[in-house]
Amino acid sequence: MNEDRLTRAALHAFAELNRPLFEGELRTLVDLPSVSSDPERIRDIRLCAEAAVDLFLRHGGSAELLETSGNPLVLGRFDADPGFPTVTVYNHLDVQPANEPEWTTNPFHMEIQGDTYLGRGTTDDKGPALTAFFGALAAREAQVPLNIHFLWELEEEIGSPSFREGLERNREALRTSAVIVSDTIWITRGRPSTPAGLRGLAGFRLTLETARHDLHSGVVGGAARNPLAELITAVADMLDGPTGRVKIPHFYREVVPPSGKERREWDRSGFTVEQFKQDHHLLTLRTDRARKVMKRVWARPTMEVHGVVGGYTGPGIKTAVPARAEVKMSCRLVPGMDVETTLNRIRKFLASHHPDVEFHAEHGLAPFMGRVTGPCAEAVKAAYAFGFGIPCCFTREGGSIGAVSTMEEVLGCQVSFLGLSLPSHGYHAPNENYDWEQAAGGMAAFSHFFMTMSSTL
Interface residue with a copy of itself among 28, 430, 437, 456 (CB under 8 A) is 430
# binding residues, a copy of itself (CB under 8 A): 103
When the beta carbons of 173 and 320 are compared against a copy of itself, the nearer one is: 320
DSSP conformation letters of 118-166:
ESTTIIIIIHHHHHHHHHHHHHHHTT-S-EEEEEEES-GGGT-TTHHHH
* Cβ 268 to a copy of itself shortest distance, Å: 19
SS3 of 413-453: the string is CCEEECCCECHHHCCCCCCCEEEHHHHHHHHHHHHHHHHHH
Residues 423 and 187 sit within 8 Å (Cβ to Cβ): yes
* Cβ 429 to a copy of itself shortest distance, Å: 6
* Cβ 226 to a copy of itself shortest distance, Å: 6
Per CB under 8 A, the segment of 70-78, 136-144, 311-319, 376-384 that binds a copy of itself is: 311-319
* Cβ 296 to a copy of itself shortest distance, Å: 4
Torsion of CA 381, 25, 149, 46, to 10 degrees: 130
* Cβ 354 to a copy of itself shortest distance, Å: 8
CA–centroid distance for 183 within its chain: 6
Please report, as residue ranges, which positions from 29 to 88 form the binding site for a copy of itself (by CB under 8 A).
37-39
* Cα–Cα dist 441/402, whole Å: 27
* Cα–Cα dist 260/256, whole Å: 12
Please report, as residue ranges, which positions from 158 to 197 form the binding site for a copy of itself (by CB under 8 A).
158, 185
Please report, as residue ranges, which positions from 91 to 110 form the binding site for a copy of itself (by CB under 8 A).
96-97, 99-100, 102
Interface residue with a copy of itself among 62, 104, 106, 319 (CB under 8 A) is 319
Please choose, from the candidates 167, 46, 98, the residue with its C-alpha nearest in 3D space to the C-alpha of residue 413: 167
Interface residue with a copy of itself among 4, 260, 274, 283 (CB under 8 A) is 283
* Cα–Cα dist 111/92, whole Å: 21
Sign of CA dihedral 258, 259, 260, 262: negative
Per CB under 8 A, the segment of 20-28, 143-151, 282-290, 377-385 that binds a copy of itself is: 282-290
Binding mask 325-364 for a copy of itself (x = CB under 8 A): ---xxx-x---------------------x-x-----xx-
* Cβ 48 to a copy of itself shortest distance, Å: 19
Per CB under 8 A, the segment of 4-12, 26-34, 48-56, 226-234 that binds a copy of itself is: 226-234
* Cβ 198 to a copy of itself shortest distance, Å: 8
Query: Max CA-CA distance within the chain?
Result: 82
SS3 9: helix
Interface residue with a copy of itself among 131, 226, 395, 424 (CB under 8 A) is 226
Please report, as residue ranges, which positions from 393 to 412 form the binding site for a copy of itself (by CB under 8 A).
397-400
Beta-strand (E) ranges in 23-101? 62-66, 73-78, 86-92
Say which residues have a Cβ less than 8 Å from residue 7's Cβ, sequence separation at least 6.
none
Please choose, from the candidates 40, 154, 91, the residue with its C-alpha nearest in 3D space to the C-alpha of residue 420: 91
Residues 406 and 160 sit within 8 Å (Cβ to Cβ): yes
When the beta carbons of 60 and 307 are compared against a copy of itself, the nearer one is: 307
* Amino acid present at 144: V
First to last CA, the chain: 16
* Cβ 24 to a copy of itself shortest distance, Å: 28
Please choose, from the candidates 91, 94, 115, 109, the residue with its C-alpha nearest in 3D space to the C-alpha of residue 22: 115
Interface residue with a copy of itself among 54, 168, 267, 304 (CB under 8 A) is 304
Interface residue with a copy of itself among 69, 81, 82, 223 (CB under 8 A) is 223
Residue 168 CB neighbour total at 10 angstroms = 12
Binding mask 132-161 for a copy of itself (x = CB under 8 A): --------------------------x---
Please report, as residue ranges, which positions from 4 to 23 form the binding site for a copy of itself (by CB under 8 A).
none
Interface residue with a copy of itself among 4, 172, 212, 274 (CB under 8 A) is 212
* Cβ 225 to a copy of itself shortest distance, Å: 6
N residues, the chain: 457
When the beta carbons of 321 and 439 are compared against a copy of itself, the nearer one is: 321
* Cβ 176 to a copy of itself shortest distance, Å: 26
* Cβ 309 to a copy of itself shortest distance, Å: 5
Per CB under 8 A, the segment of 75-83, 128-136, 160-168, 278-286 that binds a copy of itself is: 278-286
For residue 403, is it left (φ>0), alpha (ψ between -120 and 50) or beta?
Answer: alpha
* Cβ 28 to a copy of itself shortest distance, Å: 25
* Cα–Cα dist 411/151, whole Å: 12
* Cα–Cα dist 263/286, whole Å: 20
Please report, as residue ranges, which positions from 233 to 252 form the binding site for a copy of itself (by CB under 8 A).
233-237, 239-242, 244
Residues 29 and 121 sit within 8 Å (Cβ to Cβ): yes
